[in-house]
Amino acid sequence: MLTKSKLDPDLIIWDEAIPGGTYWTRLIKKGTTLRIAAPEGSRGIAFLCYNADNTIERYNAADTAKIQFNAFLKKGKLLYSDMGRVLFSITEDTCGSHDTLSGCSNAATNSAKYGEDSFYRSARDNFLLALAKRNMGKRDIMPNVNWFAHVAVDGNGNLVWAEQVAQAGDFIDLRAEMNVLAVISNTPHVLDPSPVYDPKTIQVTVWKSPAPTSDDLCRTSCPEAIRGFQNTDAYFEELSILAH
């Protein structure tokens, strides 16, 4: 297992621990990288993201899977918006198990798993609280990514929890390809069968990452990636023209 690589402290812009059951949101500026780390391991972290300059544009799970012919994200893959542009690139990943299919937990799924009298936060509860700070709401919650969670599809097409989750020290690096509003809910995956609500503290770090090179894996891995970045680059060219 790969362990968390150290970052140069001079590169770190923001570093914060997110306790289990809570949420976190922040604007990640274009060209910087968001690292999500699981010092104690993790059984899933629900994640949403939006174009911070125009939140009508947001992560699209279907396009992210369809364009890349893969519903399971890893290093080199991209998070696409509903406009065919790239929000984040996965530049490093020590876990390799991330879910784009299952959606997020809610009050009903929590009650079924932990008991009707439980008051544990669900991912949907946390998303609503985080988005309210941006004058957004339930209409802005779309199918999300679940980092550090492995979900398989059985022969009948059912989603099945697989016991391949993040180990202590695992992390994923997300390079922002535009200004991105990121939202995290550190709550157990909706399909996690454990009856114990015990999400571990995670660490989020925003850091000044190097600019992509001409042979950057994420930008050149396939024709679909190249087109995605062409769309993204064209968007910024248009913004520059309008600004003048």
pLDDT digits (tens, 9 = 90+) for 104-146: 999 999 999 999 888 899 999 999 999 999 999 999 999 999 9
Exposed / middle / buried, residue 65 (Cβ in 10 Å: 0-12, 13-18, 19+): middle
Provide the residue range defining the domain that includes 203. 11-243
In a domain, 1, yes or no: no
Q: How many CB atoms lie within 10 A of CB 19?
A: 11
Q: What is the mean pLDDT of residues 158-170?
A: 88
Exposed / middle / buried, residue 131 (Cβ in 10 Å: 0-12, 13-18, 19+): buried
In a domain, 4, yes or no: no
Please say if the pLDDT value at position 198 is more than 70. yes
Residue 2 — very low, low, confident or very high, per pLDDT cuts 50/70/90?
A: very low
Tell me, rounded to whole angstroms, the distance of Cα 240 from its chain centroid.
Answer: 28
88 beta partners: 79, 176
In a domain, 144, yes or no: yes
- Number of structural domains the chain divides into: 1
In a domain, 3, yes or no: no
In a domain, 87, yes or no: yes
Strands of the chain (E only): list them: 12-18, 23-28, 33-38, 45-51, 78-80, 86-93, 145-147, 150-153, 159-162, 170-176, 180-185, 202-207
